[in-house]
Structure 1
Amino acid sequence: MKAKNFLVLLISMSLLSGCMQHTSVEENAIIQMAGYDKGENKRIRGTMLIPQYGSSESKSATSEVYLTANGDGVKEVEKEIQKQSSKPISIGKLSVTLYSKELAEGGISDIIDILSRDPRMSRNMYLGIVDGEAIDLIESQYPQEDTTYKQLEDLIKNNARFNFPMTNLHDFLYSYYAQGMDAFLPLITKKEANVELSGLAFFKGGTVVSTIPDSNVFTYKMLNENFKRGMQNIPYKDGTIMLDNIGSSVEYELKNGLGEPKFDIRVNIKAEVNEMVGVDREANPSLMKELEEVSVEFFETNANELIQMFKEKEIDPLGLGNFAKTRKRDFDLTKWKDNYSDLKVNVKVNVEITEYGIFS
């Protein structure tokens, strides 16, 4: 009886495994990077990167093929791309998707809706806004040995360990759909033979409405999340100091009712000064105290300017509205938006420098 049951189980497993779809790099065109630009006549131009492998999936890609097509939407672009491919295209391993700033400034709500509903899309996929055209960034040759898609994937992933906040598809969709919160993505720029993260692009709904340079990204990240690592260059008299973050933490406190809400944002930073350029001072405790005060003034000024810009653009990438929603039963999103521009936010930064003393 046991042998019979085992045989039935074995046959069932064989039938189930036969129904599973297997994606082979030899039989399919595996798209691992896609970029979208503004096309003519309100259409979208999509470019897809397909690595070319050897006889085994375990081997490294030896080259890359780029296919470009125009369509009224991303699904039509995918259909037109398929017409150019001798193999069935597969987007299940798509690791990076880019949108030109021009396209995103015109609104990409329809594209975001498809991203959220397509079960083939990995929630770990990275997204980015290109300051320029996505096709130029994808089709360019770079000096690194990695393939283009791998270089872009590692670029975003690595910088999220330092100054830039994490922005994969899961994080983006959460911010996009949550009440009282707006999304953001890294801004990517091609400079000569290299590509770099040059800032952040902020959304209002599905439209990019503002950007900040990379020099302000650390300040945004310290307001938005707890993190370690990252560096910030701070002006000091006729020189500069480089602050190396050991650990930064942030706390929000909502005061008063929703009629006249007030936020206190407290940031605590522990850091080392690993370089001081043009500082004609002997390293001593009094200098360290002065550097802490200069750092506090720098961060508080930048933070207040960022928050003022958010209020002027009517965007909430810090999720203050979402924070209020979780703590006030009578939260009303419409009233919150109406009063957001008058929201009082007090930012208090504390900087503790634990080590210093490198001059140049």
Structure 2
Amino acid sequence: MKKFRIYFVLLFLVSILVGCTETNILDRVGLTTLVGYDVGTEERISTTAVVREINPEFQSNVEVITTENETSKGNRLKANRRLSKKITIGQMRVVLFGEEVAKGDLHFYIDSLLENPSVSNGLYLAVVEGDTSELLQHEYKNIDDIGQHIYRLMEQNIKNEHMISSTLHEIAHDYYMKGKDIAMPIIKREEEFVELTGVALFNGGKMVSALPVEDSFYLKIMRDSFKAGIFETILPKEDIPPALMKDTITEMPVAFDAIRSKRTLKLVDPATPEFDVQLKIKARLLEVHPNINTGDPKVIEGLESAVSKNLSKELTRIVAQSQSVQSDIFGFGDTYRSSVRNSELTKEKWHEMYKNMKINVKVKFEILRDGVFE
């Protein structure tokens, strides 16, 4: 009897809580899946929202609405006045920033997203070449829901390690670190397609440069550990050992997959500062010049040496580009802060030090036998 009373009380409390909770019936709300921000007229914020509406027969309709106001909340009110259903943001999966907005300062937008309890920390952030409204308002022939399409485009490329991850949680973490800057994917409309075209580099909250999409591999192995993926590069003549030179080869394209990488970063001189970066990479060979005898261990050793040399040069190049714009997207500053006692590091202080930083990159590349991976 006592147990029955406890169950009854619990059921009663649950019913009260459910009764007090605001319910959003699916066919009475518009689900915002993506929002894009641009610079509006007279210093206003221009917002483009992709909203999915579902009718009682569970058929959906996608609306793309652009509004201008002094605040993002004001834009939501304006959008609500144009729809027959209340707009909700609990299903928002992507936030895009127009190029002009990104070159301003994203501090306000990052804070606003973090402070909103309805917004998931797992949504993706990205920069658009040009304006987000132009990309989202275009009537694509083969894309029914541009919000879902961009979300899936980013999700599959990030999961397959073709692009760096840029969730709200990750961006906020890097933004508020004293020794690291943020980086985001760049997307662009190309005729009837939407594609990833590069990576935006930031100094604080401002976009200061960009890397082409082909450099996303180097960026990822320098920032994180690679677990799986495909890598393609072209070895120039000066990197190819004489023993591999066949038929007067001037360059050699090679492709690898199932890549595993491990990065070791060490501060060797706090005064400069100077870092040693060691990368161990294992991969399977997919494609190489047909005249290369991959069954010869000496040939494989020469190819490993050539790829190691090429990777070292490319990694040094992209770090140098980030130094030229004082954007530490790799987190060298955080290693410096944790290694130097009483460093009293600030973002401004580290940016000044970062442009004069010296790095020594050493890559050990190992080709595994076909079908074998440890």
The whole-number CA distance in structure 1 between the counterparts of 2:251 and 2:200 is: 32
Select which of 284, 288, 301 maps to 1:276.
Answer: 288
Instruction: Tell me which residue corresponds to 2:268.
Output: 255
* Structure 1 residues 346 and 28, CA gap change in structure 2 (3 angstroms): same
Aligned: 1:242 with 2:255: yes
CA displacement, residues 280-336 of structure 1 (integer Å, 9 cap, x when unaligned): 434333332232222112211111111112212111111111122233331221443
Instruction: Tell me which residue corresponds to 1:267.
Output: 279
Instruction: Tell me which residue corresponds to 2:362.
Output: 348
Q: For 1:303-322, what aligned pairs fall within 5 Å after superposition?
A: 303-322=315-334
* Structure 1 residues 5 and 292, CA gap change in structure 2 (3 angstroms): closer
Instruction: Tell me which residue corresponds to 2:130.
Output: 132
TM-score by length of 2: 0.87
Aligned: 1:97 with 2:95: yes
Select which of 328, 332, 338 maps to 2:344.
Answer: 332
* Structure 1 residues 146 and 299, CA gap change in structure 2 (3 angstroms): farther
The Cα shift of 1:247 comes to 0.7
Aligned: 1:10 with 2:5: no
Q: Describe the SS at the equivalent of 1:31.
A: strand
The Cα shift of 1:241 comes to 1.1
Q: Describe the SS at the equivalent of 2:81.
A: helix
Q: Describe the SS at the equivalent of 2:166.
A: coil
The whole-number CA distance in structure 1 between the counterparts of 2:78 and 2:106 is: 20
> Is the CA contact 1:288–1:356 (under 8 Å) kept in the aligned structure 2?
no
The whole-number CA distance in structure 1 between the counterparts of 2:197 and 2:298 is: 35
The whole-number CA distance in structure 1 between the counterparts of 2:39 and 2:303 is: 47
The whole-number CA distance in structure 2 between the counterparts of 1:321 and 1:96 is: 29
Aligned residues, how many? 352
The whole-number CA distance in structure 2 between the counterparts of 1:135 and 1:86 is: 22
Q: Which moved more, 1:65-74 or 1:143-152?
A: 143-152
Partner letter of residue 318 of structure 2? L
Instruction: Tell me which residue corresponds to 2:31.
Output: 30
The Cα shift of 1:356 comes to 6.6
> Is the CA contact 1:233–1:243 (under 8 Å) kept in the aligned structure 2?
yes
* Superposition CA RMSD, Å: 2.2
Partner letter of residue 264 of structure 2? E
Q: For 1:149-160, what aligned pairs fall within 5 Å after superposition?
A: 149-160=147-158
The whole-number CA distance in structure 1 between the counterparts of 2:282 and 2:192 is: 36
The Cα shift of 1:245 comes to 4.2
Instruction: Tell me which residue corresponds to 2:242.
Output: none
> Is the CA contact 2:201–2:322 (under 8 Å) kept in the aligned structure 1?
no
Partner letter of residue 191 of structure 1? E
Q: Unmatched 5+ residue regions in structure 1? A: none
> Is the CA contact 1:218–1:230 (under 8 Å) kept in the aligned structure 2?
no
TM-score by length of 1: 0.91
The Cα shift of 1:159 comes to 0.9
The 4+ residue runs of structure 1 with deviation greater than 4 A are 141-146
Instruction: Tell me which residue corresponds to 1:219.
Output: 218
* Structure 1 residues 230 and 142, CA gap change in structure 2 (3 angstroms): farther
Partner letter of residue 327 of structure 2? I
Partner letter of residue 123 of structure 1? N
Q: Describe the SS at the equivalent of 2:75.
A: helix
Instruction: Tell me which residue corresponds to 1:166.
Output: 165
The Cα shift of 1:49 comes to 0.9
CA displacement, residues 222-264 of structure 1 (integer Å, 9 cap, x when unaligned): 11111222222221333411122421111111223x3333211
The Cα shift of 1:5 comes to 4.1
The whole-number CA distance in structure 1 between the counterparts of 2:8 and 2:232 is: 68
The Cα shift of 1:142 comes to 4.5
Q: Describe the SS at the equivalent of 1:333.
A: coil
Instruction: Tell me which residue corresponds to 2:104.
Output: 106
The whole-number CA distance in structure 1 between the counterparts of 2:75 and 2:361 is: 46
Partner letter of residue 44 of structure 1? I
The whole-number CA distance in structure 2 between the counterparts of 1:145 and 1:215 is: 25
The Cα shift of 1:47 comes to 0.8
> Is the CA contact 2:327–2:351 (under 8 Å) kept in the aligned structure 1?
no
The whole-number CA distance in structure 2 between the counterparts of 1:144 and 1:266 is: 45
Instruction: Tell me which residue corresponds to 1:177.
Output: 176
The Cα shift of 1:273 comes to 2.0
Aligned: 1:291 with 2:292: no
CA displacement, residues 54-88 of structure 1 (integer Å, 9 cap, x when unaligned): 426xx5x6331111101223222222212222222
Instruction: Tell me which residue corresponds to 2:244.
Output: none
**Identity rate, percent:** 28
Q: For 1:141-156, what aligned pairs fall within 5 Å after superposition?
A: 141-142=139-140, 147-156=145-154
Q: Describe the SS at the equivalent of 1:26.
A: helix
The Cα shift of 1:344 comes to 1.7
> Is the CA contact 1:74–1:111 (under 8 Å) kept in the aligned structure 2?
no
The whole-number CA distance in structure 1 between the counterparts of 2:8 and 2:291 is: 83
The whole-number CA distance in structure 2 between the counterparts of 1:238 and 1:306 is: 21
The Cα shift of 1:23 comes to 2.3
The Cα shift of 1:140 comes to 3.3
